[in-house]
C-alpha cells in the first residue's frame, strides 16, 4: 500500500454521497475506481474505493480536488485527519 494523503475536509452531497478533500501538500495520483483504505485518527480501518474525482471551485481561492466515495460511507466515517492509502491497482 502507498500513503496518499490526509483528509482535510469531508462533506456530503445529497443523493450522491460523501466527498473527501485532501490536504494541499503532497503529490499523488488517484483515479476513479481505485481501491483505497481509510484509517481514521481513532484507529478504525475501512477498505473501499473511489467513485469519481471532481474539481471543487470555491468563490475565492484556488481550485481543489474532491473525491467521491460510495454511498455507504458517511461524512462521520471520515473525520479530519483520516489517512488515505492506495491499495494495489
pLDDT confidence of 88, banded at 50, 70, 90? confident
pLDDT confidence of 25, banded at 50, 70, 90? low
Range of the domain at 29: 2-86
> Among residues of the chain, what percentage have pLDDT more than 90?
69
pLDDT confidence of 26, banded at 50, 70, 90? low
Instruction: Write the CATH number for 61.
Output: 2.40.30.10
**What residues are paired with 54 via a beta bridge?**
66
Q: In whole numbers, what is the pLDDT of the chain averaged over residues?
A: 89
pLDDT digits over 55-85, tens only? 877 666 666 789 999 999 999 999 999 999 9
Report the DSSP pairing between strands 52-56 and 35-39.
Answer: unpaired
pLDDT score recorded for residue 43: 95
Domain count across the chain: 1
Spatial separation of the C-alpha atoms in residues 26 and 23, rounded to whole Å: 8
Amino acid at each position: 500500500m502507498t500513503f496518499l494523503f490526509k483528509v482535510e475536509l469531508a462533506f456530503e452531497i445529497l443523493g450522491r454521497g460523501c466527498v473527501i478533500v485532501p490536504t494541499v501538500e503532497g503529490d499523488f495520483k488517484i483515479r476513479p475506481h481505485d481501491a483505497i483504505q481509510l484509517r481514521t485518527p481513532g484507529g478504525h480501518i475501512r477498505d473501499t474505493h473511489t467513485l469519481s474525482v471532481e474539481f471543487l471551485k470555491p468563490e475565492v481561492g484556488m481550485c481543489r480536488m474532491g473525491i467521491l466515495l460510495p454511498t455507504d460511507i458517511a461524512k462521520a466515517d471520515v473525520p479530519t485527519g483520516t489517512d488515505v492509502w492506495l491499495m494495489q491497482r
